Amino acid sequence: MMNEKISLRFSLCALRSELICPVCDRRFDESDDGVAMPFCSSRCKRIDAARWLGERYGLPVEKPAEDNFPEESEHGE
């Protein structure tokens, strides 16, 4: 549901050549401040970085399958 909302929001803004800051939801034009893209300001860019570093954001990770290596004693060692 959240991804659909975000996707729709970005799609509507793309039609009007506006962007929405992912941190503060402020609408802005790409030409306003291209240095902080895709954020509206350097402040929002720093907030986002702090969220990643503080582990408020993360990427899903699949646990690897159990290793089925034979024990060393089975090799005759």
For the stretch 38-71, pLDDT in tens is: 899 999 999 999 999 999 988 888 887 776 666 6
Cβ atoms of 20 and 26 closer than 8 Å: yes
Q: Please give the pLDDT value at position 16.
A: 58
Check: pTM over 0.85? Answer yes or no.
Answer: no
Q: Please give the pLDDT value at position 8.
A: 54
Sort 68 into a burial class: Cβ within 10 Å, 0-12 / 13-18 / 19+.
exposed
User: Which fold would CATH assign to domain 2-56?
Assistant: Erythroid Transcription Factor GATA-1; Chain A (3.30.50)
